[in-house]
Amino acid sequence: MTEWSPQACKKIAVVQGDITREQVDAIVNAANRSLLGGGGVDGAIHRAAGPELLEECRRLGGCPTGQAKITRGYRLPAKWVIHTVGPVWRGGAHGEDQLLASCYRSSLDLAVEKGVRRIAFPAISTGAYRFPLERATRIAVREVLRFLSEHPGIEEVRFVCFDSGTYTVYRKVVEELCGER
């Protein structure tokens, strides 16, 4: 038996672009444990959402690695921002794979709780946190496919790749796991 349904494969999309422009119910932020903003996608989301986002984040008291917290999206097209904290890559023997998988599951759990139907993810941990891209992509796609198989309320999960190298790897991994769609 496969770990996911063929329907799950039809609900995922890989696109290249800027996640702050995604017109979905929720976008996911690759945040750090303070939740007080940073570089990369985190900085882009805070700039696009406006200062109210930081104000709400200050009240959350941070977030442990592998978990997620949700705020409003303010000036973003997305109604919600789900902030998750990916693991810093330290060679792979420090629970990095499990923590990264947990980021995707925790984010999707919060999405379901809020009735989110369409959600966009960045390539969590693959920038400043240096998680090897292909390994991270396999974890991301597999966890999302498993989750979708059990939660029919989520209609679309978009993997938003900022650069063409990331886009190519996501396309390859989705084809490996789902075949030609």
The Cα 19–Cα 160 span in angstroms is 6
Residues 6+ apart with CB under 8 A from 40: 30, 127, 128
CB of 176 to ligand ADP, least distance (A): 19
Residues that bind ligand ADP (CB under 6 A): 18-20, 30, 40-42, 44, 86, 122-129, 160, 162-163, 166
Looking at the Cβ atoms of 48 and 110, the one nearer to ligand ADP is 48
Looking at the Cβ atoms of 44 and 112, the one nearer to ligand ADP is 44
CB of 47 to ligand ADP, least distance (A): 9
Residues 28, 30, 31: CA angle, nearest 5 degrees:
115
Looking at the Cβ atoms of 71 and 137, the one nearer to ligand ADP is 137
Three-state secondary structure string covering 84-136: EECCCCCCCCCCHHHHHHHHHHHHHHHHHHCCCCEEEECCCCCCCCCCCHHHH
From the list 135, 125, 150, 126, the residue with the least C-alpha distance to 66 is: 125
Active site annotation includes 42: yes
Classify 33 as helix, strand or coil: coil
Catalytic annotation, pick one of 25, 42, 109, 163: 42
Looking at the Cβ atoms of 153 and 165, the one nearer to ligand ADP is 165
DSSP bridge partners of 12? 157
What positions carry a catalytic annotation?
42
